[in-house]
Structure 1
Amino acid sequence: MKKLGLLLSFLFCTVAFAQNSEAKKVGPPEGMAMVGESYGAGVSANSEKSAISVKKLDQILKKSAKVENVAIKGKVVKVCDKKGCWLTVETANKEKFFVKMKDYAFFVPTALEGKTVILEGNAETKVTSVDEQKHYAEDAKKSQAEIDAITKPQQETRFMASGIKVID
């Protein structure tokens, strides 16, 4: 009986140590973000063909505060250095918008920066608080002066991605 108790104690400690080690992993996932790779739920072939511009998205958002199941094409200009949990995308007309991952369910590697992607998900116009803007500025490793310069809420287009695919 003592051997069984000792064995169970050993197994419990081993599992607890493994879980603790896993929880301490910090940073975005590894990866090269090669053409064809997908993140999250992926992107349908139809979305690749029907991706719209941010200009078109803005026109749609003027009529409706939220657009669901839309696809947008753009170039990733910044990925969260801490976890890969958000990114900034620039479109062909040089407009930028902020992207978060749906349900915080997936992250992307920093190697995604500079790649052209198709995003599939939902978009909305949102007012972002000063605190939230400062949080993202800290994640982006902006200078303290840049963070301190954030003093007003900002209205912006936000995209909640369910899937991302590298196309170039």
Structure 2
Amino acid sequence: MKKLIYSALICCSILACKNSEEKKVEAENTVEVQEKENNELAYASYGEEISAEGAVDAEAIAEDYKKLKPGDTIATSFTSTVNAVCKMKGCWMDLEIPGDEDVSVKFKNYEFFVPKDIEGKEVVVEGKAFIQEVSVEDQKHYAKDAGKSEEEIQSITEPKHEFAFLANGVLLKK
């Protein structure tokens, strides 16, 4: 009886190891396929599926923002470099454009996030550009998320108008 139990345990162990090895190989093959597909596209995609085709550069979107008045929106897509990203969740990012201001990007319906370590990387965003007023409370919240010092956070004392963008999709250049 003991031999039968030991034999059954050994068989189960061998089958479990074999099954585990097959799953590992299958997972490795899946990752290779995904990497191959993403390398062909050269982008990682977040949110809705979008295309880099037709996206304007940072200079063109900066000119568009200069023409906007509070309440106006422009449906567009543009390419830029990430200057800052939320260190808590990746739930917002600031994109560089020529001039003194960045574009503050949030994500449609809070449905997706971007990686928290993408400063300096190129992205394509698609959505709506507009100008918004940001309260002192919200500015302090974003400063905290960005990892700013307590001194920098406390120096925020007035609401401000900023270039804003509500993205329905983001492509992160690899």
* TM-score (norm. length: structure 2): 0.68
Cα RMSD of the aligned pairs, angstroms, is 2.3
Tell me if the contact between 1:73 and 1:117 (Cα under 8 Å) persists in the aligned partners: yes
1:130 partnered with 2:136: yes
Distance change >3 Å, CA 144–CA 88, structure 1 → 2: same
Counterpart in 2 of 1:151? 157
Counterpart in 2 of 1:114? 120
Find 2:79's aligned residue among 73, 77, 98. Answer: 73
> Which structure 1 segments of 5+ residues have no match?
1-32
Shift of 1:92: 5.1
Shift of 1:147: 0.5
> Which structure 2 segments of 5+ residues have no match?
1-37
1:58 partnered with 2:65: yes
Shift of 1:165: 0.9
The one-letter amino acid of 1:153's match is P
Distance change >3 Å, CA 156–CA 95, structure 1 → 2: closer
Distance change >3 Å, CA 109–CA 131, structure 1 → 2: same
Partner of 1:82, secondary structure, is: coil
Rg (Cα) greater in structure = 2
Find 1:82's aligned residue among 88, 98, 106. Answer: 88
Cα distance in 2 for residues equivalent to 1:60 and 1:116: 25
Distance change >3 Å, CA 103–CA 126, structure 1 → 2: same
Cα distance in 2 for residues equivalent to 1:143 and 1:96: 20
Counterpart in 1 of 2:51? 44
Shift of 1:43: 2.0
Cα distance in 1 for residues equivalent to 2:128 and 2:158: 25
Cα distance in 2 for residues equivalent to 1:56 and 1:167: 24
Tell me if the contact between 1:47 and 1:71 (Cα under 8 Å) persists in the aligned partners: yes
Tell me if the contact between 1:54 and 1:95 (Cα under 8 Å) persists in the aligned partners: no
Find 1:140's aligned residue among 146, 159, 166. Answer: 146
Find 2:102's aligned residue among 81, 96, 111. Answer: 96
Tell me if the contact between 1:85 and 1:101 (Cα under 8 Å) persists in the aligned partners: yes
Cα distance in 2 for residues equivalent to 1:139 and 1:125: 21
Shift of 1:93: 5.4
The one-letter amino acid of 2:127's match is G
Cα distance in 2 for residues equivalent to 1:39 and 1:167: 11
Distance change >3 Å, CA 154–CA 86, structure 1 → 2: same
Tell me if the contact between 2:57 and 2:80 (Cα under 8 Å) persists in the aligned partners: no
Cα distance in 2 for residues equivalent to 1:95 and 1:38: 26
